[in-house]
Chains A and B, each alone.
Chain A
Amino acid sequence: MSELPFNSTSYYHLLSEHKLMGCRNKTSGKFYLPPRPMCTTSYSSDMEWEQVSGKGEIIAFTVITVAPTHMIEAGYSRENPYCAAIVRLQEGPAISAQILGVDLSMPEEAIKIGTPVQATFIERGEGPAKRIYLAFEVVQ
């Protein structure tokens, strides 16, 4: 794994192996998820991969009823909306992802900022378009 460049291609490659990974800069100690090829504090590229627990909490969310093309292709619609959110990971960084397992009919009551969630991996698309996406499930 050490040969993987610290960038989005590697991030998604690792997601396809069900690993949520960021990188730590050895000079500044700063942790980046998603990974970056250069630390924006130390300007050093001396990075190492680090896997995270996948535990985090919702810091902002929405329930999307008018979906973009790729989500419509994934089966979402006004009748079948989805929750998209920003999750702050226990390790510090935050990331955008879909939230699974929440009641979408009454978002104001059913979804709360601060809700603990756990990373999961979802598969979308067929054949060569098949891809693994990051999502989070509410911790029961």
Chain B
Amino acid sequence: MAVKKLKRGVALVGAGMTPFGTFPGLNTRDLFVQAFQEMRASVDKGFDPKDIEALVIGNYSSTMFEGQNFMAPYVADAVGLTPIPASRVECACASSGLALRQAIMTIGSGLADVVLVGGLEKESDLPIARVTDVLATASDSIYENPAGFTFPGLYALLATAYMDRYGATPETFMKIAIKNHENGVLNPKAQFGARIADIMVSKQKAAAKRGKPVPQWDSELDFLKDDQANPAIAWPMRLFDCSPVSDGAVSLLLVAEEIASSFTDKPLHIIGYGQGSDVPTYERESLTTIKAARIAAEQAYATAGVTPKDIKVCEVHDCFTIAELIAIEDLGFFKPGEGYKAIEEGLTSRLGPRPINSSGGLKSKGHPVGATGAGQVVEVFKQMRGEAGPRQVPGDLNLGLTHNLGGSGMAAIVHIFERRQ
């Protein structure tokens, strides 16, 4: 099929986010205002919010998390944008990846020149068991949930299928967690800004303080293999293979390419875009790949006219460690079955040849479901403009990519960004 492209170019000119974490007393609207203010400050030449012509937000379930459905106009009101069109899209964990895509299409179609994208979620007001149940409404309530599946359980299926087919071990997954925690330390917005080694020390101190025997571990891997320190959630996915429950909001400003220079001299041109869908886990031909992501990536590379080896910086959807392993293969960075070797060799570390998740990823940065996809874009924005501070990926980062999954991989959205000067 011929590649279908936008009728005109779209550029990202501003990006801001709250820290990800748990913020009692702040609701979705409060969080979005924070993200909006940071986004405003990021627009180099400034702009008048009154020039924004549409708002698209991604939000998974304010309905169940906060008892507030119909969030878009409330968010528009919170940042003084009424009466412009305000829309909410939902695509599970890919909700704000989809909001970005819808905003791109709004500009690409010519209906607007300036569009605000939001991603938001406030999860921590509910007790953890209720949060789990809300998240589980994105897996198949008819055929997966009755079998006892949870989200960690669904991704654990991919993990056992991958281990069986290619010979990876749970240690591979642990190495992804160690790497993402290393990156998260350098990200002030990360929920867990601590190395696994730091967490080991704090656990030892806590034990000593309580007068209990102080646990000893030889290494971070040794700690992660300890059933007490790192208990199984859904074997082989353990606690440190899982992204956390998080609150957070993100705000992105998109404009038509031809007016980008009045906002900044360093716009990121959104040159690649793709979206795919897939069947539930039990209907899939293969459980060692996420087909929706392969489809989305193929479209994104085709629209951008670039190949995987051209990408310099990349944020992938590591809701669970196995998802990062599958992502680096689905995106074409490594051949099927080769990704785990790349991880073992450290190729995906921040200073390695194929840096993945310099932000710390969902694992360390946090995973406020509906804010996650847009949050990935904030990292790429900072990295490609050389504004990532101590976690800056070295080199000329002219091309960046974001990979955002929904649910068990039944949806995937990929974007490719280009900096031209």
- Which A residues are within 8 Å of any B CB, using their own CB? 8, 34, 59-71, 76, 78, 81-82, 84-86, 93-98, 107-108, 112-113, 133-134
Can you list 19 A-B pairs with a CB-CB distance of less than 8 A?
A8-B142, A60-B160, A62-B156, A62-B159, A63-B232, A64-B148, A64-B150, A64-B152, A64-B234, A66-B132, A68-B132, A69-B133, A70-B146, A96-B143, A107-B236, A108-B170, A108-B236, A112-B164, A134-B147
Quick check: B145 and A65 within 8 Å, CB to CB? no
- Among B132, B149, B156, B170, which residue has its beta carbon within 8 angstroms of that of A96? B149
* Residue in chain A with minimal CB distance to B146: A133
Quick check: A68 and B232 within 8 Å, CB to CB? no
The total of interchain contacts (Cβ-Cβ below 8 angstroms) comes to 103
User: SS class of chain B's interface: helix, strand, loop or mixed?
Assistant: helix
Quick check: B287 and A59 within 8 Å, CB to CB? yes
Interface residues of B in 168-198 (CB under 8 A from A): 170
Quick check: A96 and B235 within 8 Å, CB to CB? no
Quick check: A86 and B287 within 8 Å, CB to CB? yes
Q: How far is the CA of A98 from the CA of B145 in the complex (A)?
A: 11
* Residue in chain A with minimal CB distance to B232: A65
Q: How far is the CA of A64 from the CA of B147 in the complex (A)?
A: 11
Which chain B residues lie closer than 8 Å to A96 at the CB level? 140, 143-144, 146-147, 149, 281-282
Given contacts A8-B143, A67-B148, A86-B157, contact A62 B235 (CB under 8 A): yes
Q: Is B255 part of the binding interface, using a Cβ–Cβ cutoff of 8 Å?
A: no
Which chain B residues lie closer than 8 Å to A134 at the CB level? 147
* Residue in chain B with minimal CB distance to A65: B232
Which chain B residues lie closer than 8 Å to A62 at the CB level? 152-153, 156-157, 159-160, 234-237
Quick check: B283 and A68 within 8 Å, CB to CB? no
Contact with A along B228-272 (1 / 0, CB 8 A): 000111111100000000000000000000000000000000000
Q: How far is the CA of A81 from the CA of B147 in the complex (A)?
A: 13
Q: How far is the CA of A62 from the CA of B234 in the complex (A)?
A: 6
Top 5 closest A-B pairs, CB basis?
A62-B156, A96-B147, A60-B157, A63-B235, A60-B161
Q: Is B351 part of the binding interface, using a Cβ–Cβ cutoff of 8 Å?
A: no
Q: Is B129 part of the binding interface, using a Cβ–Cβ cutoff of 8 Å?
A: yes
Given contacts A60-B161, A66-B152, A68-B145, contact A107 B282 (CB under 8 A): no
Q: How far is the CA of A84 from the CA of B160 in the complex (A)?
A: 12
CB A117 to nearest CB in B, in angstroms, measures: 13
Q: How far is the CA of A69 from the CA of B160 in the complex (A)?
A: 24
CB A74 to nearest CB in B, in angstroms, measures: 8
Q: How far is the CA of A80 from the CA of B148 in the complex (A)?
A: 13
